[in-house]
Amino acid sequence: MQLLCKETQDVLPDGFACPTNNTLELNGVQIIHPLYAHPLDCQRFYVCLNGKDPRENSCPDLTVFNDYSMKCDDPANVPGCENWFESDANAETPAKSQRRR
């Protein structure tokens, strides 16, 4: 008797699921734990453990995820997130003044 395993894809509550295709580095080597920018929050990003198990992570205070370098970075270095921590005059906490495009 042969048992067939059917892989199911995990999906986070916000709907993110790891892409099913392999993610490769520029030199063609497969990335084991690929990272993906959050579409609305510059400070957050997703990591796909072993390419298929999604987790949501966040950068430290005053940094945003740079989807070019794949690291947390100064907002000035990330197009679309330059003003992410601009203060909102009507709030006591930093405003999320821009969203990724």
The three state secondary structure string of 30-48 is: ECCCCEEECCCCCCEEEEE
pTM exceeds cut of 0.75: yes
Which is nearest to 95 in space by CA: 39, 37, 42?
A: 42
Q: Are 33 and 51 in contact (CB under 8 A)?
A: yes
Query: Is residue 91 scored above 90 in pLDDT?
Result: no
pLDDT digits (tens, 9 = 90+) for 31-56: 889 999 999 999 999 999 999 999 99
Average pLDDT for the chain:
83
Residue 82: is its pLDDT beyond 50? yes
Name all domains of the chain by residue range, CATH numbers in brackets: 12-20+28-101 (2.170.140)
The whole-angstrom separation of Cα 3 and Cα 23 is 29
More confident residue, 58 or 5: 58
